[in-house]
Structures are given as structure tokens and as C-alpha cells.
A and B are shown apart, each in its own frame.
Chain A
Amino acid sequence: DGGITQSPKYLFRKEGQNVTLSCEQNLNHDAMYWYRQDPGQGLRLIYYSQIVNDFQKGDIAEGYSVSREKKESFPLTVTSAQKNPTAFYLCASSIGRDRGPTGELFFGEGSRLTVL
């Protein structure tokens, strides 16, 4: 089945540690996104990538890093510089650039990060 796979679903981290969240898609989509969800704040865009080897900062990129070495993969690293990393993280993808604006996002099931 085509879709987006995020792992791990739950992750615990000690303060000062970097963690990497995995996101893989087999939908052949060009664009991929990372969102952060906090209660009552909706979804906020962290980073996005419209093509391999290129990515852009979103609205809350500080303390995060990404890479896009393969079309299928868009891992997110939450660094120790992120002041409040406890949140629900959602990865999404959408169809290629020419039809991109009208295409809906397809989401993974999310990864819940808790900092101890």
C-alpha cells in the first residue's frame, strides 16, 4: 500500500540529546513537509522540501535540521538547541511541483516526542 511511514511512534529523550525522526514515502511525491503540533496551536511548519537535495525553512525551523538525499526520505533531527521539543511531529508529502498548489497533503501517523 502507498503511504507515509513515520518512526518511531513514541520517543523519549533526555535534555541535551539530539534525536532523529524518520519519514519515508512510497507515493512518488516530490514535496515533503514536517509539521509540529501542540495543543490549541494547530500545525506549524518546521521545514519543507520540494525536490531532492533542496529544502526550505518553515515558520519554526530553529533547533531543527533536515536532509533530503532521496526522494522517498525526509528525516528530521531535533537538536539540543530546540528549547521546547516535547510535541507531536507530523510528516507529510504532496504531488509534484507543477500541480503542487492544488494537491492535498498526505500525512504519516505522527511521532510523539517527550523530553524527560
Chain B
Amino acid sequence: AQSVAQPEDQVNVAEGNPLTVKCTYSVSGNPYLFWYVQYPNRGLQFLLKYITGDNLVKGSYGFEAEFNKSQTSFHLKKPSALVSDSALYFCAVRDDAKLTGGGNKLTFGTGTQLKVEL
């Protein structure tokens, strides 16, 4: 079964410093990987996705993510954090080997709370 792990419940970083939010996945085929952000009492907003091609994916608001097949990771990064980046971040995966018979489901991690302080 496909799964996603976000090993850190919370990440704290000072404004202006680089940030990394970690994500590892497990699939039987090839992964389709996504990052979403959620502000309090709001829905999730799409940030970026990896389907195929370049391992470094650029997304919204200056975020990027690096796909590493050997480490089965898809860590979210930003070179310089802003206080306004403080939010809950979710990694999600689909397994391309399980797309038939209703397998077109996205599995989410448990989320990582990012706190950016002045």
C-alpha cells in the first residue's frame, strides 16, 4: 500500500533562514508526489508536484522540492523563510501502479507545522 511519512510534527526556523520540511514515501510503482499548505481553519492549497522529469520542482511562493528516488524522499525547501510561511504543510502521494479499479487515491502525510519567527 502507498504511504507517506512526515517525520517532524513541527519545524521552527528564523525568518531569512532556509527551511526544509521532510517527506518520505512508499509505493510499489512510480510515485506522483504533491505538497500542499494549510492555513488555520482553511482548505489546503496546492504548492507543487512531481510527476516525471527534473528532480527539482519549483512551485508557488518560492517553494521548491527535490525528488530523490534512491532515498524515496520529496523534501520541501525554501531558500529564505518568511513569517507568512508559518502554516501546516502536507505531503501526498499517488502510486502509478495502483491507478485502476479505484486506485486513483491520494494518500496524505500527517502534516508538519512550520513556525517562522522573527
A interface residues (Cβ-Cβ under 8 A, vs B)? 4, 6, 31, 33, 35, 40-43, 45, 48, 50, 56, 58, 88, 90, 92, 97, 100-102, 104-110, 112
Contacts and interface: CB of A to CB of B under 8 A. Distances in A.
B99 A110 contact: no
Contact of B46 (A58, A97, A101, A104): A104
Contacts, number: 61
Contact of A40 (B45, B99, B110): B110
A6 B108 CA distance: 21
Q: How large is the interface on B (under 10, 10 to 19, 20 to 34, 35 or more residues)?
A: 20 to 34
Nearest to B103: A101
15 contacts: A40-B9, A42-B108, A42-B111, A43-B90, A58-B105, A92-B43, A101-B99, A101-B104, A102-B51, A104-B46, A105-B44, A105-B106, A106-B46, A109-B43, A112-B41
Chain A interface SS verdict (over half): strand
Interface of B: 9, 32, 34, 36, 41-46, 49, 51, 90, 94, 96, 99, 102, 104-106, 108-111
Contacts of B105: 45, 48, 58
A91 to B, nearest CB: 8
Contacts of A88: 41
Nearest to A4: B43
B32 A102 contact: yes
A105 B46 contact: yes
Nearest to A43: B108
